[in-house]
Structure 1
Amino acid sequence: MTQQVKNLKNNILLNFVSENKITYLTGLTFMFLASSIQTLFPKILGNTIDLLKDEAYDRNRILWEIGLMLLISLFTFLFTYIWRMFIIGNARKFECTLREDLYKHFQTLSPEFYTKRKTGDLLAYAINDVLAVRMSLGPAAAQSINGIVICASSIYFMLTSVDFRLTLLTITPIPIVIFLIILIGKKIRLRFGTVQDLFGEISDRIQENIYGIRVVKAYVQEDQEIDKFQVLSSKMLDANIKMVKTSSLLTPIIEGCFSLSFVLSLVFGGHMVLSGQISVGNFVAFNTYLAMIMTPIVSIGRVINFFQRGVASLKRLEEIFRIPPSIFDSEAAIQGNIEGTIEFKNLTFSYPGMKKPALENLNLKIEKGKTIGVIGKTGSGKTTITNLLLKLYNVGPGQLYLDNIDINEYSLESIRNSISLVPQDTFLFSASIKDNIMSFKNIYSDDEIEAATKYSSIYENIANFPSGFDTILGERGVNLSGGQKQRVSIARAVIKNSSILILDDALSAVDSVTETHILNNFRTYRKEKTTLIISHRISAVSDCDEIVLLHNGKIYERGTHQELIEKGGLYDEIYAEQSEKHTEHCRECQ
């Protein structure tokens, strides 16, 4: 997998060009034809002017010359349209391919990557950076090649058809222009990189504020949030102004140099006309060629701007593509269903960058069909068990087994197809309730969907919505209560009917009556399958076949609810504390 990512990074552009070489060659051919034909126009125009000077001009010859100019214009239009369709069209295809490859790469990266990156930065990669690369590969590259051909052809005709001395004199400023463009272009690239970084920060700030709008309003933080955003916005403005100041130098420098070229042409070329060294037609053709050269040179400022932005963005994208997936299948990975037996053997695990183990010397075997409760205070390692079972993080060999086979020998697809998870941070998509329950897989009948919602005690709520199961949820299910979101998430896990079900503090937002009802349903529905109920509430695990109490990443106590109460240890203390709080809450309700 690491090698695949490396190859992707190194060859994505070359592979795309190779796959589309026919269209690229066709586009380049028509580009050369359009540019070459276009440069014939000034020469014919000059000839026509010289013919008109003669009072006894040949009318048919004049009409022939005019007809040639019309044909040149027609074919220039036609060939330009064709090459733009191929070259610019390919740039659009590459943009799509690059964005898809980036998205695929995001899917392969572990949670560790996302904990170190802001969402706004990732959005900037997928939108702004990909766009900048497309602009450099499409319009910028096309204008560059087209401009080179036009300039080369024009200078050739100026040298051979008019006068080489006048040509050399008038194009003297061009090398100065090119040198200044390269110098300024480097600064543009650096300043555009800064702009992109700040765009990521602004995107992240906006997204964070939208997601947390209830908290912002509840704690009257609107003014503080506005102040923070204004600081970021001011930084973005300053960075853009600096970039504009630099890029704005290009056009006046180019136009100034070409103004000098036209002055030289007017002074020395006019003298040559008056002295009879060149004809009026040649002088007009010469200045037309000079104008044709000026057009691509003037646009070179914008082209360099696009190229430098594209280079800066490509560098940022390459940094992402260089990050290899830390979790991937071995070549001989086992494909197939997992029955549900789980065993931890002396498992010790630390999160990357953390010195203290999240789990230490964990020994636990869960037989197929058993319901196990895992309880503990915050930071005790409960959720880490979920992360390792789903192989969101790598586990050392010989420490975690599924059906008596090392978890590292299974394919990721086999592991995750065999496990249903209801996470403590419930996530719902901006889609219908039905699509959220089905996970967008049209493989479930309406009866199965209805049964899943009844098991999770959300059916009646959904039935009361005006659109029922077709009700569209807001972003992250914002139009549902916390308890409703958890129960929809539970229905999503239930309908999957996996051999292993993990409830990771998935009942924290439901009331005790609903919690009891859901757990009773599970005892019937999950009778032959393995269930892990991870919670900080003893009421959620009290009826489990076995309860494991984690403390500082270790198994501190284990047994049935009654056994742990009779033992009088930490579990009993937590139970007493929660019972007391429940009693006080009931009194307040009365």
Structure 2
Amino acid sequence: MKQFLALKDFFYEYRWRYIIGIIWLIAVDSLQLIMPKLLGAFTDALRNGTLSTRQLLLYIASILVIALFMFIFRFLWRMYVMGNARFLEYKLRNDLFSHLQTLSTNYFNHHKTGDLMAHATNDINAVRMAAGPGIVMIFDTIILLGTTIFMMIQTISLKLTIIALLPLPFMAVVTGRFGKIIHHRFRKAQESFSHLTEKVQENFSGIRVVKSFVQEQAELENFTKANQDYVDKNMHLVRIQALFDPIVQFISGISLLIILSYGGILVINHEITLGDFVAFNSYLGLLIWPIMAIGWVINILQRGAASMARLNEIFQTKPEIYDQEGLIQPDLQEIKGDIRIQHLSFAYPNQSNKVLSDINIHIPQGKTLAIIGKTGSGKTTLVNLLVRLYDVEEGMIQIDGHDIKSFPLEVLRQNIGYVPQDNFLFSTSIKENIGFGLDSYTDQEVEKAAEDAQILDNIQDFPMKFETIVGERGVSLSGGQKQRVSIARALIKNPKILILDDSLSAVDTKTEEAILKRLKEVMKERTSIIIAHRISTIKEADEIIVLDEGKIVERGTHEQLLQLKGQYYDLYQKQLLEEMIANE
């Protein structure tokens, strides 16, 4: 069970709780061993006619006291051992979430949300079962098996005990073989559950698209296939479990049959008393449970091991983007905003085609750079490299004369206000969405950011104003409102560098002009990068570059680019024509 080695620190930290819980478990098992002897003595006294009323009451009182202590001790071992399992579940879920936060953007491009959700639910639950009921069954089996066999040998009959234990080697072979099969099939079932979870999550997130394209029935069929696969994988697992338990019980039944036959002969031959035979059968009843529990232990531990292996794969994944020792300069805690990009070329991981080729740009502090170009020309990739969502491998990006890898990631990203194309909002209030990037903020700061983003009037019109819940992914807001809330979220950070990635596409021209005018005031002495498809958005920029297939094909001011009569000029003419047609 090498998969559980990753939990050694947890088991060490909580060792005393486990030890105390196991002590209470031993106490319960010890009390259980007294019961058969009491029943044997009671049977012999009853058969011999020596049982008095006083003795009967004493037997009853003894059984009640033992039952009471067993109740108390069972409660205690459950609180300690099962409680530890819940602590482990809490720790694993925290560790998983924390680790996922450290992983780079590229990891989430290749791992689906549903699969990660399955790790956080089913897999962690399976590990909890192994660390709780699994550990209880291990010690319960070992303790009860060992002490029961000892009592059977010591107090009744060695020969009878040996005969009773004859089926155990067969049990070991069966459990070992079945354990491997259960491990493999449970892993397959968990993978199928991950796929099913992803299907549900994706469908609910895209429910508006599904309904718009009238694809409810098609999605239902796809879900049914995924659901059927999950059922099939579980039935494949259930079949082996359904076969496993009866085999264990059958072997146990053979042992019981042998004991009844041979033990009956010993009683008839007066080699043991009837009371001894009753006590032996009671011990055998105690013995059958740990023998059967061996199967359950194997089952639970194999499930836990399979899930822990899946979790370990995540925990062992290292972030691609991180603060590199030797490169980070601790004194670089502030950014002024002078950006220089030199001979930058970039291709996404595991892809040979370059998205950007030999990019050279200088943006002095306080200036505005605009980027325009066709879809797929590399605009978003360029700014993603600036905030280190990916690392540069060919060329260099410098801020204030330092390689961006010299800055701690936290410092770099805190000083950059980035409004991406996907205006993701959390399903909480507008106020909390705007203040998301800060540990603390005042109502005045939130209101100021909203005013700068030209969304304040809209918010004031809502019944709950800033406390309005925007719904999942901001569903209750229009596209333009979501964009402006996202801009406000970036502005409240008071960043030294502001990046707007096509963040004004959903607002009307009048609102766009108002936002740009306010941004010009707010971002004075600060650096701005604006990506857009509309020339009206970028014409006031200090420099405009035109990207095409990852290369800068034109650069200059608005007037300079018009004089070139190249791609920028053609795009400008097309947009003028579109405006004329729209105004007619």
- Output the TM-score relative to the length of structure 1: 0.94
Q: Please, which of 190, 204, 207 is the counterpart of residue 196 of structure 1?
A: 190
Deviations 1:233-280 (Å, cap 9, x if unpaired)? 121121111111111112211222222222222222112112211111
Structure 2 equivalent of residue 535 of structure 1: 532
Q: 1:202 to 1:57 in 2, by over 3 A?
A: closer
Q: Which residue of 2 aligns with 1:462?
A: 459
- From 371, 374, 378, the counterpart of 1:377: 374
1:203 alignment partner, SS class: helix
Deviation of the 1:27 alpha carbon: 1.8
| Residue type of the alignment partner of 2:83 | G
Q: C-alpha offsets along residues 126-159 of structure 1, whole Å, 9 cap, x if unaligned? A: 1111111111111112112112211111111111
Match of 1:393 among 387, 390, 398: 390
Partner of 1:471: 468
| Partner residue, 1:50 | 44
In 2, distance between residues paired with 1:384 and 1:135? 45
Task: Identify the residue that residue 122 of structure 1 maps to in structure 2.
Answer: 116
Amino acid in structure 2 at the alignment position of 1:41: M
- Give CA-to-partner distance per residue, 1:378-417, whole Å, 9 cap, x none: 1111111221111111124860111111111110000011
Match of 1:565 in 2: 562
Alignment of 1:280-429 (within 5 A): 280-331=274-325, 333=328, 334=330, 335-396=332-393, 399-429=396-426
Number of the residue aligned with 1:484: 481
Aligned counterparts of 2:365 and 2:408: Cα–Cα separation in 1: 20
SS in 2 for 1:155: helix
Counterparts of 1:357 and 1:183, CA distance in 2: 52
What residue in structure 2 maps to residue 99 of structure 1?
Answer: 93
Contact 1:502–1:531 (CA<8 Å) still a contact in 2?
yes
* SS of corresponding position for 1:480: coil
Q: Is 2:251 the partner of 1:254?
A: no
- Asked if the contact 1:341–1:403 (Cα under 8 Å) also holds between the matched residues in 2, the reply is yes
The corresponding residue for 2:209 is: 215
* SS at 2:271 equivalent: coil
Cα shift readout 1:47-83 (whole Å, capped 9, x = no counterpart): 2322233334465555445444333323322222222
Task: Check the 8 A contact 1:45/1:69 in 2, yes or no.
Answer: no
| Residues in 2 aligned to 1:286 and 1:10: alpha-carbon distance in whole angstroms | 38
The question of 1:74 aligning with 2:68 is answered yes
Paired residue type of 2:367 = K
Q: State the match for 1:162 in structure 2.
A: 156
Contact 1:171–1:261 at 8 Å: present in 2 too?
yes
Q: SS at 1:276's partner residue?
A: coil
| Cα deviation, residue 11, structure 1 | 5.7
Asked if the contact 1:90/1:138 (under 8 Å) is kept, the reply is: yes
1:19 partner letter = E
The answer to whether the 8 Å contact 2:196/2:223 transfers is yes
Q: Is the 8 A contact 1:397 1:406 kept in 2?
A: no
Aligned to 2:501: 504
Partners of 2:4 and 2:308 within 8 A in 1: no
**Greater mean deviation of Cα atoms: 301-310 or 562-571:** 301-310
Aligned amino acid, residue 162 of structure 1? I
Deviation at 1:441, TM superposition (A): 4.2
> Which amino acid is 1:36 matched to?
S
| C-alpha displacement of 1:97 | 1.0
CA distance in structure 2 between the aligned counterparts of 1:83 and 1:411, rounded to whole angstroms: 48
Distance 2:513 2:437 in 1: 29
Q: Please give the per-residue CA displacement for 1:476-517, whole angstroms capped at 9, x wherever unaligned.
A: 111111111111111111111111110011111112221111
Describe the superposition over 1:79-131 as per-residue Cα deviations: whole angstroms up to 9, x where unpaired.
Answer: 22222211111111111111111111111111111111111111111111111
The aligned amino acid for 2:517 is N
State the Cα distance separating 1:535 from its structure 2 match: 1.4
Q: C-alpha distance in 2, partners of 1:11/1:398? A: 42
The match for 2:223 is: 229
In structure 2, distance between residues paired with 1:343 and 1:506? 23
Match of 1:39, SS state, is helix
Moved more, 40-49 or 62-71: 62-71
Unaligned runs of 5+ in 2: none
1:435: how far off?
A: 0.5
Quote the offset at 1:330 in angstroms. 2.6
Preserved contact between residue 51 and residue 62 of structure 1 (Cα < 8 Å): no
- Does residue 516 of the first structure (1) align with residue 516 of the second (2)? no
Match of 2:351, SS state, is coil
Q: Distance in 2 between matches of 1:472 and 1:162?
A: 73
2:263 to 261, 265, 269: 269
1:34 and 2:40 correspond: no
1:375 shift after superposition: 1.0
| Separation in structure 2 between the aligned mates of residue 306 and residue 578 of structure 1, nearest angstrom | 66
Aligned with 1:249: secondary structure?
A: helix
Q: Mean Cα displacement is larger for which, 414-423 or 185-194? A: 185-194
Within the alignment, does 1:578 sit opposite 2:572 as a pair? no
Contact 1:375-1:547 at 8 Å conserved across structures:
yes
Shift of 1:440: 7.0
Query: Residue 438 of structure 1 corresponds to which residue in structure 2?
Result: 435
Aligned residue for 2:448? 451
Q: Distance in 1 between matches of 2:490 and 2:561?
A: 30
State the shift of 1:475 in Å: 0.9
The CA distance in 1 between the partners of 2:520 and 2:114, in whole Å, is 43
SS in 2 for 1:248: helix
Q: Output the TM-score relative to the length of structure 2.
A: 0.95
CA contact (8 A) 1:397 1:408 kept: no
What is the letter of the counterpart of residue 316 of structure 1? R
Q: Kindly indicate whether the alpha-carbon contact (under 8 Å) linking 1:35 and 1:149 is maintained by their aligned counterparts in 2.
A: yes
Q: Do the aligned partners of 1:453 and 1:459 also contact (CA within 8 Å) in 2?
A: yes
**Cα separation, 2, equivalents of 1:11 and 1:248:** 30
Amino acid at match of 1:509: A
Q: How many residues are matched? A: 579
Q: Which amino acid aligns with 1:124?
A: A
SS in 2 for 1:303: helix
How far off its partner does 1:576 sit? 1.4
C-alpha distance in 2 between matches for 1:409 and 1:229: 48
Partner of 1:244: 238
How far off its partner does 1:15 sit?
Answer: 0.7
SS in 2 for 1:345: strand
Contact 1:39 1:154 in 2 (8 A): yes
1:562 and 1:295 mapped to 2: Cα distance? 88
User: CA shift at 1:22, angstroms?
Assistant: 1.8
Greater mean alpha carbon deviation, residues 495-504 or residues 179-188: 179-188
Cα distance in 1 for residues equivalent to 2:452 and 2:206: 31
Residue pair 1:438, 1:444 contacting (<8 A) in 2 also: yes
Worse-matched range after superposition: 334-343 or 278-287? 334-343
Q: Deviation per CA, 1:399-443, whole angstroms, max 9, x where unpaired? A: 011111111111000001100111101111111111111107462
Give the Cα separation in 1 of the matches to 2:474 and 2:85.
37
Contact 2:337–2:526 under 8 Å retained in 1: yes
